[in-house]
Amino acid sequence: MLRIEPLRAFSDNYIWLIQDEGSRQCAAVDPGDAAPVMAWLEAHHEWTLSDILITHHHADHVGGVPLLKAATGARVAGPAGEEIPERDLALSDGQTLSVLGRSLQAIEVPGHTAGHIAYFCGEEHPWLLSGDTLFAAGCGRLFEGTAAQMHRSLQRLAALPAETLVYCTHEYTQSNLRFAQAVEPGNPEIAARCRQVDELRADDQVTLPSHLALEFRTNPFLRVDQPDVRAAAAAQGLLADQSSPEAVFAAIRAWKDRFQ
């Protein structure tokens, strides 16, 4: 089995390092800063970086690519619909690539950016590299896409197996759960997750990966069909059509944008 380890970058980014013990090869996911990856490679000199996987074009996800590419010659894969530095493989929806002997599928998930992709591996225990689309207890801001696009993107990811591990790229879990509690104050699953995450963060521990089954129970953006979520959105005065899950999603995304 592969090992997936977080390397911290900037204030709250994670660069996921996927490691194959047998081949001593690894892949870096969204390296906005080359330094954490280079430091790991220097400390593990028998390992080589074979691949760099990019979910979208934002600088905190691609800033380290040129240096890493120059230093290691790693193959760079990223979304076909965005400008990705040093990209060797441009991926569109449904395309697959082999990374460390595993087959990964590209899933187009526009919303945060126009061409954002996620990577899904359904082999062994399924896992997802969700970038800035699906967060633990949250979802990404709408910088280039629409609420309708993001809702559809999340529904695509929600259709994956419930046991899928979710590796997103920011440590936003604690703040996302505060919002989730505001949306569903009576949800005991959210309250329990808040307590667990608060304990982890008090010790500066990583709260990821999550898994889809937990997100279905605690992530308001995957719960827009629930009566309590619809009622909370309506109470904010942002909801014109309570019958539409897409409208509920747009309302709570707007609420989250101004939530303190």
Side chain identity at 41, as an amino acid letter? L
Residue 108 pLDDT exceeds 70: yes
Whole-number pLDDT of residue 238: 75
Q: At what angle do helices 173-183 and 188-202 cross, to 10 degrees?
A: 160
Spatial distance between the Cα atoms of 36 and 173, rounded to a whole number of angstroms: 22
pLDDT tens digits, one per residue of 25-78: 999 999 999 999 999 999 999 999 999 999 999 999 999 999 999 999 999 999
Instruction: Please tell me which residue in 112, 116, 151, 211 is annotated as part of the active site.
Output: 112
- The catalytically annotated residue of 30, 57, 61, 116 is 61
* Residue 88 designated active-site: no
Rounded to an integer, the average pLDDT of 129-133 is 98
60 is catalytic: yes
Cis peptide upstream of residue 185 (ω within 30 degrees of 0): no
* Binding annotation: 56, 58, 60-61, 112, 132, 170
Does 61 qualify as catalytic in the annotation? Answer: yes
Of the candidates 58, 116, 151, 211, the residue annotated as catalytic is: 58
Per the annotation, where are the binding residues for Zn(2+)? 56, 58, 60-61, 112, 132, 170
pLDDT per residue as tens digits for the range 182-241: 999 999 999 999 999 999 999 999 999 999 999 999 999 999 999 999 999 988 887 765
- pLDDT at position 117 is 98
Q: Which residue is catalytic, options 30, 56, 57, 151?
A: 56
d(CA 216, CA 131): 18
CATH 3.30.429.10 fits 3-172+208-220, yes or no: no
The DSSP element (H or E) to which 81 belongs, if any, is none
Model pTM score:
0.96
Among the options 20, 30, 33, 60, which is catalytic?
60
Facing residues of 28 across strands? 17, 52
- Give yes or no: 12 in active site: no
